[in-house]
Chains A and B, each alone.
Chain A
Amino acid sequence: MNRLRDKRVLMAVGLVAVLTLTLVLPAISPESATTNMAVFTLMYVGLATAWNIMGGYTGYISLGHAGFFGFGAYALGLLLARLSIAGGYAPFLFVPVAGLLTGLMAAGVGWFALRTRAATFVIVTIAFMFMLQLLAENLTSLTGGGAGLGFPNPPWRGDFFNIPFYYAMLALAVLGLAVSWSIRRSKFGLGLLAIRDDEDKALAVGVPARAFKLTAFVISATLVGMIGSVYGYYVTFIYPQFVVDPLIGISMVLMVFLGGLGTLWGPVLGAVILEPAQLWLAYNYGASRLYLVLYSAVFLLVILLMPRGIIPSVRDLIAERRASAPAARAGAAP
């Protein structure tokens, strides 16, 4: 009992320390190369966490989440253009609207996609993403097509430019984690885990599987859409292949698998490891897509060596040590 309380206190202290550190990071290291890396890392922390709500808790592997990411970006870009919002802090106020629109679209997509399971669902999500990419390309009167869509220019200069985006991404990552944490502890979350284990048995014990799957899908897509919209504003110019990018969708999946599928902190760990590594490769080896080789190598190693990801594997290792330690001591005693 005491050890449990000690562990909780330790966790809380650690959490506050990490959060404080992330809050003051721009003050410690204000140069834009660092903050830029931090913006992207936080972005992937949020994306992986959001993806995990559907893929990790509910067990429905979506490879089409890049579609929601791009949809969110386009939604915000079009809103700002139509409403003639100037660059500054005001566009951030429309991020929840972009998220809401993405969630609405996800409800429609999910309504159909979630009639399928397992591999079929994966394929349906990929198809959805490419359909969205094609639409963005061809609805030129709305999206500007291949010519792209511009955002209002943020007025910030120099090292400060990244800071508002850093805090926006941080806020969304924390929001995602809070949502993920509360789902994991709720009766809703228990139902999602049951669906992941065996959907028919879940129905048998009274879990309203259809409604729950759809809810998880919409929550996940809404978070991804909001993050996508901030990304669009950050890069200030988007075109279809760039925001509805399959690689963005694959990255979130890989990060979750690396860190630990279905765990709260696994997606965070995966993002913090992979995204800086990817950016480092991009800086040092130019715009070559060398990081893709790294990604596939990581994917192979994860699947071969620890298919459940870092956090569950380490947890098992600790449990094994603990279980064998008293036995070893007992054996040593005369």
Chain B
Amino acid sequence: MPCAAIPLFSMPTWGPDVGVLLELKGLVAGYGAGDILLGIDLAVDEESLTCIVGPNGAGKSTVLRVISGLLRPTRGSVRFRGESIAALSPRSILNRGIVHVPQERSLFPTMTVWENVRLGAYTVRDRGLVERRLAAVAETFPVVKERRHELAASLSGGQQKIVEFARAMMLDPLLLILDEPSMGLDPKTRTTVFNTIRTMNDAGHTVLLVEQNARSGLGIASHGVVMESGRIRLEGTGPDVLGNPEIGRLYLGAA
């Protein structure tokens, strides 16, 4: 399918910021000596499911780290609901409603599933609200209810990932950032995990997803972004990007 609408080396232009939840402009960032991100422009629409794909070392995770405040950008701006958040601490970014589920396993292994989920809302003071969210999360994520008294470490990798999602949902995030949630999972579990991401997005949560597995990621995305070497190479709707012959050749290993 020809994709004239998708510019290579994209420099997208936006209209008035209606419906844009997060906006990155001219973002340059890196660790120590070198820059990893060499000018990223990206808009995440409200209630969208945006998926960033790309080869190893493209800077996908670095984008997420900048958004959640774990890394300060050298140049460029990060605006969340119109407010600049590039200089804020991870804690205050969390308080603004951006929750980051990291790539590695992040549950407390010797605590129960229920305690882990409860810890997600540790900063919420309103007890009634916490109870209501616990009930809602137990409804959405059956594994939380079924295995509530078991230690997190006794769960499979996929189940742990879903409990991590459940814990993130305890803050009722405006933006949920997921870093390679399917890493190390078998195909069947991967499907469950992606279905869960879909469900969370359908419930109205904006999701920004980074995936190594481009097919699965773009398959559920409303908006797809391809990164390479610190820049955005392609952008468009999920299916469009997935169907683009360029990306097929570059990243999906098609002939």
Contacts and interface: CB of A to CB of B under 8 A. Distances in A.
A24 to B, nearest CB: 37
Contacts of B115: 190, 193
Interface stretch (B30-38, B116-124, B239-247): B116-124
B111 A191 contact: no
B118 A190 contact: yes
Interface string A190-234: 110110111001101111000000000000000000000000000
Interface residues of A, number: 14
B110 interface: yes
Chain A CB within 10 A, most for which of B109, B115, B120: B115
B91 interface: yes
Chain A CB within 10 A, most for which of B90, B115, B119, B167: B119
B123 A206 contact: yes
Size bracket of the B interface: 10 to 19
A318 to B, nearest CB: 13
A108 to B, nearest CB: 28
B183 to A, nearest CB: 18
Contact of A206 (B91, B106, B108, B110): B91
B122 A197 contact: no
B94 interface: yes
A196 B91 CA distance: 21
Contact of A205 (B109, B110, B119): B119
A184 to B, nearest CB: 11
A206 B109 CA distance: 18
B15 to A, nearest CB: 36
Nearest to A59: B110
B108 A201 contact: yes
A206 B94 contact: yes
Contacts of A193: 108, 110-111, 115
B40 to A, nearest CB: 24
Contacts of A202: 108, 119
A201 B111 CA distance: 13
Contacts of A204: 90, 106
B91 A197 contact: no
Contacts of B111: 193-194, 197
B106 A197 contact: no
B157 to A, nearest CB: 17
B204 to A, nearest CB: 23
A83 to B, nearest CB: 44
Interface in B66-118: 90-91, 94, 106, 108-111, 115, 118
A267 to B, nearest CB: 18
Interface of A: 187, 190-191, 193-194, 196-198, 201-202, 204-207
12 contacts: A191-B122, A193-B111, A193-B115, A194-B119, A196-B110, A201-B106, A202-B119, A204-B106, A205-B120, A206-B94, A207-B119, A207-B122
